[in-house]
Chain A
Amino acid sequence: MTSTIDAPPTPHVNRPFLLPSLYAGNARSVMERGILSTAKTNWLIVVSGFFEPVFYLLAMGIGLGSYIGAIQVPGGHTVPYAAYIAPALLAVAAMNGAVFDSTWNVFFKMNFGKLYDGMLATPLGPFDVALGEILLALARGFVYACGFMIVMQVLGLNLSWTAILALPSVLLIAFAFASFGMGITSYMKTFQHMDWINFIMLPMFLLSATFYPLTVYPEWMQVAIQAMPLWHGVELVRGFTTGLVTSAMLWHVLYFVVMILVGMTLTTRRLKSLFLD
């Protein structure tokens, strides 16, 4: 090539302190790629993801809520039904956005697109790829959350100024689900496997104190649900939007921090063993 371009910048890698052979400090480029491809091909799915919780809120919260009235929460407070389920739907939206991006999207890229083979032939390491994809899922979850928060504000369902803290909570929840989802997806080889994800997601959505308090269940079932991540997300977000903030909410935060650490470790290891054998 007779080049008219000035001497090219040499690609250089800032050797990071952590995971030097697995990380090139360039997760941003993976995110950029995702934004570009989403903007050109998948924007309809992105838009539909915003409306889903809004429809639930209108149907269940406003519609059904007009029959139910207020609901009593632990601590003796009562909360209007719509304001009770809205934060739960926000947590669910964060979960759904993060899980879709980190499972179905990743599944296709791994098994059909060969995208990661291409990425890992560049300086990018498995940790860059995992982090980039997860941050993208997170960004999407955050956009949904902001939209939904606006709807909640307009409908008067944010009962306290602490509602603003629901946004970082949503990021935490999305991060946890995305990092874990991507790790689990790396084991999936067929569409049947992918159905298992729905098999777990749907009951979690319906049962995690989303539409009514946990106290309606027998003791053993309460424990089972409290072990699942969505319940922690629902309680955390609900605490902030209703203003019923307690120190017990720190446990929810801790739950998600642990989930993120485990999820990121799992995902990076899996990507390494799959693509850098």
Chain B
Amino acid sequence: MISATNLTKKYKDFAAVDGISFEIAPGESFGFLGPNGAGKSTTMRMIGAVSTRTSGDLSVIGLDPNEYGPEIRSQLGVVPQEDNLDSELRVRDNLIVYGRYFGLPHSYLGPKADELLAFAQLTEKAKSRIDDLSGGMKRRLTIARALINNPRIMMLDEPTTGLDPQARHILWDRLFRLKEQGTTLVLTTHYMDEAEQLCDRLVVIDKGAIMAEGSPSALIRQYSTREVLELRFGSNRNADVATQLEGLAERIEVLPDRILAYSDNGDAAMQRVIELGLNPLTSLVRRSSLEDVFLRLTGRSLIE
């Protein structure tokens, strides 16, 4: 569906995307996970044929985006990071007019818009102004809008950033349904829970380069332990205690506010911490997440 080889985008001397390669299969749900400024959005813009690459090869539905922008975009559904709904038009008109940009006939767009409003749970808002919608509603409308042309590929740039937890879960549910119907999803996120929920496979991207690739569970297996013991000793003591913890876990990460001890058996590690007579203020055993993978790969947190 999408294939990139040594894909590079330079702005003057700065390489926003620095020679990345990946393949995305039809029906797959593929994620770019990385912090802000990692090059995720730039990559999405190149796939979406709204940014020309500096070098390397890129093929989207078998076409070169530099040459066949309109043809490629006609098969994509794009959900940008910032909502860009048409605030001079009402909710339903937003869908119809957007469909017209694809050259679709009114006879098709009328029923399709109603169907998508139902899908986005916005049927009652059909005649509302855009400015009267909540953040979550705007996002859902943007997703509905992106579906107006029955896209073969859905491109979602940070789909749930800035939404409250409830709105995020509604959105994930809608996206999961699309995935079940076989739509190829390509999304960027800096939330590991989102990546774990939605992505079959993902690449961890940092400073324009790919650090690792695989399914969320495979990445966790490869780059982290099964469990993590999180310990807080207070910001003054964390660094001192860390040296005493050496050897009781496979790996220790000291963060400003807490210590992470990576171990396949978190409870056993906790037992030994207590036996050593170290009294943490708080302790928590949890499963490893993509956040831990990212920390391992880059030495930095995902959200800074």
Contact = CB atoms under 8 A, between A and B. Distances in A.
A118 B84 contact: yes
Interface of B: 48, 50-52, 66-71, 73-76, 78, 80, 82, 84-90, 93, 97-98, 100-105, 108, 111-112, 115-116, 119, 149-150, 177, 181
Interface of A: 1, 3-5, 8-13, 15, 20-24, 26, 29-30, 32-33, 36-37, 40-41, 113-115, 117-125, 275-277
Contacts of B82: 114
A182 B177 CA distance: 42
A3 B50 contact: no
A252 to B, nearest CB: 36
A8 B115 CA distance: 13
A118 B74 contact: no
B103 A29 contact: yes
Contacts of A15: 70-71
Given A13-B71, A36-B97, A121 B115 contact: no
A276 B84 contact: no
B98 A3 contact: no
B108 A5 contact: yes
Given A8-B108, A11-B103, A123-B74, A29 B97 contact: yes
A4 B87 CA distance: 30
Nearest to B147: A1
Nearest to A272: B52
Output the residue of B66, B73, B78, B115 with the most chain A CB within 10 A: B73
A120 B50 contact: yes
Contacts of B87: 113
A21 B69 contact: yes
List of 10 A-B pairs having minimum Cβ-Cβ separation, nearest first: A114-B84, A37-B88, A122-B101, A11-B102, A29-B100, A24-B70, A121-B78, A123-B74, A123-B70, A118-B84
B115 A1 contact: yes
B71 A123 contact: yes
Given A21-B68, A123-B70, A113 B86 contact: yes
Given A40-B88, A40-B89, 7 more contacts: A8-B150, A11-B103, A37-B88, A113-B84, A113-B88, A122-B73, A124-B73
Nearest to A32: B100
Nearest to A33: B97
A23 B70 CA distance: 7
B67 A277 contact: no
Contact of B89 (A3, A4, A13, A36): A36
A124 B149 CA distance: 13
A121 B111 contact: no
Contacts of A275: 50
B150 A276 contact: no
